[in-house]
């Protein structure tokens, strides 16, 4: 996947646990864990806003785009 989730990195920098962030954001630990591990298919803007507010960060701190490399074999 070309979108990388750096939520665990930002949480570690802020010394915030999954449980604490889930409580502050208002989502379940399971859903936050799915997002954190990169298994989520999408994220709602209001959820992203709440995460950024709780972690005092920008969306770009959490989400990163890395283009996938394609190889053309003749």
Residue 2 to residues 20, 32, 64, Cα–Cα distance (Å): 28, 20, 8
Please give the pLDDT value at position 72: 74
Which pTM does this prediction carry?
0.85
Task: Give dist(CA 65, CA 74) in Å, integer.
Answer: 28
Tokens 């646990």 sit on residue: 17
The tens-digit pLDDT sequence of the chain (74 residues) is 689 999 999 999 999 999 999 999 999 999 999 999 989 999 999 999 999 999 999 999 999 999 877 777 77
Please give the pLDDT value at position 1: 60
> Which of 4, 51, 55, 45 has its CA nearest to residue 32?
51
Q: What φ, ψ does residue 48 adopt, rounded to 5°?
A: -60, -40
At the top level of CATH, the class of 3-65 is: mainly alpha
- Contact criterion met (CB below 8 Å) for 5 and 35: yes
Q: Write down the domain spans for the chain.
A: 3-65
Please give the pLDDT value at position 35: 94
């Amino acid at each position: 996947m070309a979108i990388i989730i750096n939520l665990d990195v930002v949480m570690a920098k802020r010394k915030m646990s999954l449980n604490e962030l889930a409580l502050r954001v208002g989502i379940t630990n399971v859903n936050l864990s799915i997002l954190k591990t990169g298994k989520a298919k999408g994220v709602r803007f209001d959820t992203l806003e709440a995460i950024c507010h709780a972690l005092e960060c920008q969306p770009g701190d959490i989400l990163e785009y890395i283009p996938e490399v394609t190889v053309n074999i003749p």
